[in-house]
Amino acid sequence: EAGVAQSPRYKIIEKRQSVAFWCNPISGHATLYWYQQILGQGPKLLIQFQNNGVVDDSQLPKDRFSAERLKGVDSTLKIQPAKLEDSAVYLCASSLRTGQSKGPYEQYFGPGTRLTVT
């Protein structure tokens, strides 16, 4: 089966510019996650969607970051305006669903988008 797709793979922008990342999850996966991985650290969850509703966005810097998942499939993560500290790899993951009644459900990760802000 096809994995999680992300684009672009690399992006270089100047501070105060805006940028958008795209993610296409595995077909049939209801839950989609965006993570930020700063160099030398483990990934940190930014936002989690269940279908097209937000389950958790407690660690999303809402003054500059936004995300949407229209129609419960593809998702876009946007940063506007970017700061130097936003330089990181942005990972998208998906799982069949969330909750633990029959889980946990394995999360499958995409290859990530490496963002460099200069």
Give the binding range for other proteins (CB under 8 A) out of 15-23, 50-58, 60-68, 72-80: 50-58
Binding of other proteins at residue 30 (CB under 8 A)? no
Binding of other proteins at residue 45 (CB under 8 A)? yes
* Chain residues 86-105 in contact with other proteins, contact rule CB under 8 A: 91, 93, 95, 98-100, 103-105
Please say which residue, 81 or 97, places its beta carbon nearer to other proteins. 97
Please say which residue, 27 or 100, places its beta carbon nearer to other proteins. 100
Exposed, middle or buried by CB within 10 Å (0-12, 13-18, 19+), for 105?
middle
Q: What residues contact 40, with CB distance under 8 A and at least 6 apart?
A: none
Separation CA 51–CA 69 (nearest Å): 8
Cis peptide before 8 (omega within 30 of 0): yes
Which tokens is 17 given? 């510019």
Binding site for other proteins (CB under 8 A): 3-4, 31, 40-45, 48, 50, 55-56, 91, 93, 95, 98-100, 103-112
